[in-house]
Amino acid sequence: MTSEYKIPRFLHQPHRLVFLDSDEAGVLFLFLVLAVLFGGVFWILFFTVPFVLIRKKRKSPRGYVKHLLYLVGLYDFKGAPSVFEKRFSE
């Protein structure tokens, strides 16, 4: 039994969907779903917000999105305190 698995050329690069990274495609898909469900102003947001976020992400250093999600409180780094903790002692 042979299973074919494509080994990526560069292991440090994220998965890509056409010309977008996986997190960029996720943001685009999220705003597409919101625009289809609610319509109206969400169609304008569908074209503007992902464009602005993708441009900002590509100009920022690697790991920008994870740190941004950490600051908002949606992502936790292993071994690091929560963003909502006032005091931390090692």
Enclosing H/E stretch for 52: helix 41-59
47 and 65 both lie in a single domain: no
21 and 53 both lie in a single domain: yes
Domain that holds residue 82: 61-90
Q: What is the tens place of the pLDDT at every residue in 24-81?
A: 888 889 999 999 999 899 999 998 988 888 888 888 888 887 888 888 888 888 877 7
In a domain, 69, yes or no: yes
Q: What is the tens place of the pLDDT at every residue in 66-75?
A: 888 888 888 8
Residue recorded with tokens 């039994």:
1
State how far the Cα of 80 lies from the Cα of 69, in Å rounded to an integer.
14
Structurally, how many domains does the chain consist of? 2
- 1: tokens are 């039994």
For the beta carbon of residue 42, count every other beta carbon within 10 angstroms.
16
